[in-house]
Amino acid sequence: MPFRYTLPLGLLWYILMGVYDKPIKLLKIIRGVLVGSVIILMGYSLLPEYLRFSRALILLGTGWAMICFIITRLLFHFLKLKSYSLSTAKTKRIAIIGEEQEFNRVSALLKETHANPGFVGFVSAEVNGVHNPFYIGKINQIDEIIKVHEINEIIFCAKDISSQFIINNMLTLVSSGVDFKIAPPESLSIIGSNNIDTAGDLYMIDVNSISKSNNKRNKRLLDIGVSILAIAFSPILFFIQEHKSNYILNCFNVLFGFYSWVGYGKITDKSLPEIKRSVLSPGMLLEGEVDNNKMKLANLRYAKDYRIEKDIVMIWKLRKKLGT
């Protein structure tokens, strides 16, 4: 494919993956179709001339797929299939149950998220209560608090409340339609379950944003695209590598999904969201003497607020280390 086509398509890919960080659901569908088409066109450009067919077929297929996806998604929406609803999520109104110190810690974690809850209230685990600007009641008033403040999510601070109390309240309040979360002490994570019948899952408030399905999908698409380009331009990139021996092997390992270009490196850190081992890591950008604590902090910052632009910038800055 001529360069005058590949450059605009590359820019389009970057814009779609980076600018629309939180698009509405229909825009996500359109973005997915366009990104897939870009990848197909990139692979098409690498084929020899006698194997190429008309680009018009690819573009027509893109248009037809986009129309079909949008029509079927709208149909599912009007049929009121919950998983396919186009409506935005309801505003979270959260009550945090615990002592004041734990409330401050958990509410600080919530501020780190992009969820932006509409309301956060403090329910004191001490029957006497405390004078806090977010105070909305005592622990034995939880039924009234849910009704008065229209609470739809409750976070229990496990440090201050017994597991038996949490279970009893989940059994009692499940009919109220609220979601339940548990904040373990001194942790950056929250254990969540929408009701007592589900096993629940471990998620980290924004700290594990890299583990969200859309981020994993975008990251995989970037890995494939960069691998194809790295192989296509290997005659040039090979000679600038500081470690040439593993360059081609890394390209194919990432292309086939064994590794990712950017991540935590070759280490495994169970305190962070699980992702594939990687060729590059944020710690490789650190200057001066780098110890394990600095590496871990760099990985935490990377996982905490993932953006595909970070991977693109890191790959460019570390382009001489793709053979590491």
The rounded Cα 234 to chain-centroid distance in angstroms is 31
Measured distance CA(279)–CA(267) in Å, rounded: 11
Measured distance CA(67)–CA(149) in Å, rounded: 43
Give mean pLDDT, residues 19-29. 57
pLDDT of 89 above 60:
no
Query: Are 97 and 201 members of one domain?
Result: yes
Q: Which one of 187, 205, 223 terminates a domain?
A: 205
Query: Are 128 and 197 members of one domain?
Result: yes
Query: Are 97 and 197 members of one domain?
Result: yes
Name the band, by pLDDT with cuts 50, 70 and 90, for residue 182. confident
pLDDT of 68 above 70:
yes
Q: Which amino acid is at 36?
A: G
Measured distance CA(94)–CA(151) in Å, rounded: 6
Q: Among 6-20, 64-78, 136-150, which stretch is predicted with the lowest mean pLDDT?
A: 6-20
pLDDT of 11 above 50:
no
> The CATH number of the domain where 145 resides is what?
3.40.50.720
Residues forming a β-bridge with 124: 98, 138
pLDDT of 22 above 50:
no
Count structural domains, the chain: 3
Token pair for 34: 């366009």
Convert the pLDDT of each residue in 98-137 to its tens digit. Answer: 888 888 888 877 776 555 678 889 998 876 656 788 899 8
* 3-state class (DSSP) for residue 57: helix
| DSSP single-letter state for residue 133 | T
Q: Which one of 88, 111, 141 terminates a domain?
A: 88
Convert the pLDDT of each residue in 250-281 to its tens digit. Answer: 999 999 999 999 998 887 777 677 889 999 99
Measured distance CA(306)–CA(282) in Å, rounded: 12
Convert the pLDDT of each residue in 193-229 to its tens digit. Answer: 544 444 444 444 444 467 778 888 889 999 999 999 9
Residues forming a β-bridge with 155: 96, 181
pTM higher than 0.85 for the full model? Answer: no
* 3-state class (DSSP) for residue 251: helix
Query: Are 260 and 316 members of one domain?
Result: yes
Query: Are 1 and 97 members of one domain?
Result: no
Query: Are 68 and 100 members of one domain?
Result: no
Residue 22: partners with Cβ closer than 8 Å, 6 or more residues away:
114
Query: Are 211 and 200 members of one domain?
Result: no
Domain limits at 74?
1-88
Query: Are 201 and 213 members of one domain?
Result: no
- E-strand spans in the chain? 93-98, 119-124, 135-138, 153-157, 179-183, 190-193, 201-203, 260-262, 278-280
Measured distance CA(129)–CA(137) in Å, rounded: 7
Query: Are 231 and 256 members of one domain?
Result: yes
Query: Are 114 and 201 members of one domain?
Result: yes
Q: Which one of 158, 175, 205 terminates a domain?
A: 205
